[in-house]
């Protein structure tokens, strides 16, 4: 059997000086628990379609990272190392020693940091189009690099939308979704909204998003973590990027070189999937199969 997201519930987990929110479902006896970390300005519900494909005995902990959605009011610091350490705090809170840790996009860098900082607690890592250094010209302007990679996500935070449907219309017309829209995408995208003045805006701390954007593009610690992984890891890369253009977040050649250099790392390439439909669309089953290998029907 596969899991219904109706079995998931929100839970507050204490962190120093505050708390974070996680979307949680306890696992069955002797079952594996998966910790799921979303992308730059996403939220725990982005994992809903993946969760729906997981076996019903799988434990699930989907974080709202500090500064996003249910953790929008969580205290600083907002750096990726702190978010990685929050995984350990969540495991402590539910009295669990180890888990499979899966990170999507920005979450891939968080998962890699967790694997390096807490290797004994990482049963396995699944890096979903994230976690490895992005190719860049060393002479290029740093701010231009950041804007090219994450500028659209940051600018979305500054917009106000008249209605929830207006926000969903923004995504329906997005190049990544215009030919791939499914009604199931409404729940995770709509979850990140909050009422604001005369409309709605994304519930996120812009400073937290900007810090993470800088770390995944030019941050040394976050980008060196993947080179030091000593736990079993699986990297998924895709054919198309955030605007459905050729090339995913992590280029195929980067993934192939990384897998060749590390016997603990395997890689998987998904054709005809873009960076967003990887989690919210047709790629979700493949991501679930990587998290729970051998448990899912083909």
In angstroms, rounded to a whole number, what is the distance separating the alpha carbons of residues 155 and 60?
31
Which of 257, 246, 298, 275 has its CA nearest to residue 108?
275
Q: What does the pLDDT average to over 250-276?
A: 96
Segment 169-174 long-range contacts (CB within 8 Å, at least 24 positions apart): 174/243, 174/276
Q: Is the pLDDT of residue 2 over 70?
A: no
In angstroms, rounded to a whole number, what is the distance separating the alpha carbons of residues 196 and 193?
9
Residue 261, Cβ density class (10 Å: 0-12 exposed, 13-18 middle, ≥19 buried)? exposed
Tokens of 93: 């809170």
8 A C-beta contact, residue 168 and residue 190: yes
Of the two residues 137 and 38, the one the predictor is more confident about is 38
The model carries a pTM of 0.95
Window from 146-160, 194-208, 214-228, 252-266 with minimum mean pLDDT: 146-160
Q: Is the pLDDT of residue 164 over 50?
A: yes
194 pLDDT tier (thresholds 50, 70, 90): very high
- The three-state secondary structure class of 131 is coil
In angstroms, rounded to a whole number, what is the distance separating the alpha carbons of residues 72 and 66?
6
Residue 123, Cβ density class (10 Å: 0-12 exposed, 13-18 middle, ≥19 buried)? middle
Of the two residues 151 and 247, the one the predictor is more confident about is 247
Give phi and psi for 103, each to the nearest 5: -130, 130
Q: What does the pLDDT average to over 143-168?
A: 88
Q: What does the pLDDT average to over 102-127?
A: 98
> Would you say the C-alpha torsion 286, 255, 242, 176 has a positive or negative sign?
negative
Instruction: Identify the structural domains of the chain with CATH numbers, from first to last.
Output: 5-136+208-291 (3.40.50.1820)
Q: What is the DSSP string of 129-178?
A: S-SSPPP--TTS-HHHHHHHHHHHHHHHHT--BSSHHHHHHHHHTSTTTT
Q: What does the pLDDT average to over 187-197?
A: 92
Residues 11-50 pLDDT 10s: 999 999 999 999 999 988 878 999 999 999 999 999 999 9
Q: What is the pLDDT of residue 273?
A: 97
Give phi and psi for 174, each to the nearest 5: -65, 140
How much of the chain exceeds pLDDT 70, in percent? 97
- The three-state secondary structure class of 269 is strand
Q: What is the pLDDT of residue 297?
A: 44
């Amino acid at each position: 059997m596969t899991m219904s997201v109706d079995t998931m519930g929100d839970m507050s987990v204490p962190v120093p000086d505050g708390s974070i929110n996680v979307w949680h479902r306890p696992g069955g006896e002797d079952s594996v628990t998966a910790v799921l970390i979303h992308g730059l300005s996403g939220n725990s519900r982005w994992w809903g379609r993946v969760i729906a494909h997981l076996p019903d005995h799988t434990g699930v902990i989907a974080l709202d990272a500090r500064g996003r959605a249910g953790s929008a009011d969580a205290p600083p610091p907002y750096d990726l190392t702190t978010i990685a350490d929050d995984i350990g705090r969540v495991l402590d809170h539910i009295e669990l020693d180890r888990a499979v840790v899966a990170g999507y996009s920005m979450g891939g860098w968080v998962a890699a940091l967790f694997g390096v900082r807490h290797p004994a607690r990482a049963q396995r890592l699944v890096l979903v189009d994230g976690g490895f250094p992005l190719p860049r010209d060393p002479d290029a302007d740093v701010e231009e690099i950041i804007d090219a990679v994450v500028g659209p996500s940051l600018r979305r935070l500054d917009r106000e939308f008249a209605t929830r449907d207006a926000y969903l219309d923004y995504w329906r017309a997005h190049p990544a979704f215009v030919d791939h829209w499914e009604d199931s995408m409404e729940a995770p995208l709509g979850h990140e909204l909050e009422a604001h003045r005369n409309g709605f805006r994304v519930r996120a701390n812009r400073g937290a998003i900007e810090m993470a954007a800088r770390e995944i593009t030019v941050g040394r610690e976050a980008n060196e973590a993947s080179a030091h992984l000593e736990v079993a890891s699986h990297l998924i890369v895709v054919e198309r990027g955030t605007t459905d253009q050729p090339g995913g977040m992590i280029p195929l050649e980067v993934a192939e070189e990384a897998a060749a250099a590390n016997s603990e790392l395997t890689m998987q390439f998904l054709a005809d999937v873009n960076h967003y439909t990887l989690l919210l669309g047709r790629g979700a089953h493949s991501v679930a199969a990587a998290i729970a290998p051998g448990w899912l029907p083909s």
